Amino acid sequence: MSQIDALPPLRDVIARHDLRAKKALGQNFLLDLNLTARIARAAGDLAGSDVIEVGPGPGGLTRGLLAEGARKVLAIEKDPRCAPALAEIAAAYPGRLQVLMGDALKIDPLDHLSPPIRIVANLPYNVGTELLIRWLTPPEWPPFWASLTLMFQKEVAERIVAKPGSKAYGRLALLAQWRADARIVLTLPPGAFTPPPKVDSAVVHLTALPEPRYPAPAGTLERVIAAAFNQRRKMLRASLRGIDPAIESRLERLGIPPTARAEEVDLRHFCLLASDLG
């Protein structure tokens, strides 16, 4: 076990506060502080950033972020059992850790922070995906965050970074890659977590682009992508007919084969189509 700070090992913290993992909250904890420090380093220049950590649990990643120099960490945790353990970390790093107890899907933490803001999280899969989509589809771009460093099931991470022509390519890849650079920075086996999940996990790091990679109206682009991939085995001339009855000639004019399936169309062409639809 590592010595990244003077606090007790996480196994002791968990035993002392009786933090037995709850399945309903998607609790698979990281107990190796070398590993959490590594994830924190993957988040970028922490010394000059405020960090939002979603789902700190007993605080392994929180400790990594603070030990790696984050200016301030704002941690949002739903499980009230974790509050005493997180308070101990806050006491060890005076003025640098603020904890909000509650549901990250309902809390807006922005009042408490100044840019640049980095978001780091090891969250249950469904919450993580919902938050990722929210963070990628704000009303204005650039967003309030500079980067996202998020743990997912490996299969979901692969969907975020996927390229056209692959099975993993779809809505998540297009939404992520339209306005961010996305890459997998770390892959972890089930044994890295306590208790171990059933599948491999991966950390994805996304950096917000100053402006979208290609111009397109966001709402139309999201609608086109959703329609195209809701029926991903169909040709575009069929899956997009509901969006435009004259879709076939429009696609031809834009150089997109009307017989192509969604997974064969790259981001640039989806943006061209969305811009043309207006």
Q: Are 145 and 113 in contact (CB under 8 A)?
A: no
Using rule CB under 6 A, residue 148 touches ligand SAM: no
Q: Is 78 in the site for ligand SAM (CB under 6 A)?
A: yes
Q: Count CB-CB contacts under 10 A for residue 252.
A: 12
> 96 with 50: CB under 8 angstroms?
no
Nearer to ligand SAM, 29 or 229 (CB): 29
How far apart CA 127 and CA 135 sit, in angstroms, is 12
Q: What is the pattern of x (binds ligand SAM, CB under 6 A) and - over residues 250-269?
A: --------------------
- Rounded Cα distance between 162 and 135, Å, is 19
Q: How far is the CB of 17 from ligand SAM (least distance, A)?
A: 12
Interface residue with ligand SAM, options 50, 77, 222, 263 (CB under 6 A):
77
In the bound complex, what is the minimum distance in angstroms from residue 60's beta carbon to ligand SAM? 4
Dig out the tokens for 110 from the structure: 């922005």
Specify the residue, 153 or 207, whose C-beta has the smaller distance to ligand SAM: 153
Indicate the residue whose CB is closest to ligand SAM: 55
State which H helix or E strand residue 151 sits in: strand 147-153
Whose tokens are 């994830």? That residue is 39
Of the candidates 104, 150, 156, 236, which one interacts with ligand SAM according to CB under 6 A? Answer: 104
Binding flag, residue 103, ligand SAM (CB under 6 A): yes
Residue 126: how many CB atoms within 10 A of its CB?
9
Integer CA distances (angstroms), 12 to 18, 21, 85, 112, 199, in order: 10, 14, 11, 31, 26
Complex with ligand SAM: residue 25 or 277, whichever CB lies closer:
25
Measured from the CB of residue 81, what is the shortest distance to ligand SAM in angstroms?
A: 8
Among 46, 51, 60, 135, binds ligand SAM (CB under 6 A): 60
In this complex, which beta carbon is closest to ligand SAM, that of residue 13 or of residue 175?
A: 13
> Residue 27, interface with ligand SAM (CB under 6 A)?
yes
**Which has the closest alpha carbon to 125: 226, 251, 28, 47?**
28
Helix or strand (DSSP H, E) at 184: strand 180-188
> Closest separation between CB of residue 77 and ligand SAM, Å?
5
Whose Cβ is closer to ligand SAM: residue 22's or residue 268's? Answer: 22
Residues making contact with ligand SAM (CB under 6 A): 25-30, 54-57, 60-61, 76-79, 103-105, 122-124, 127
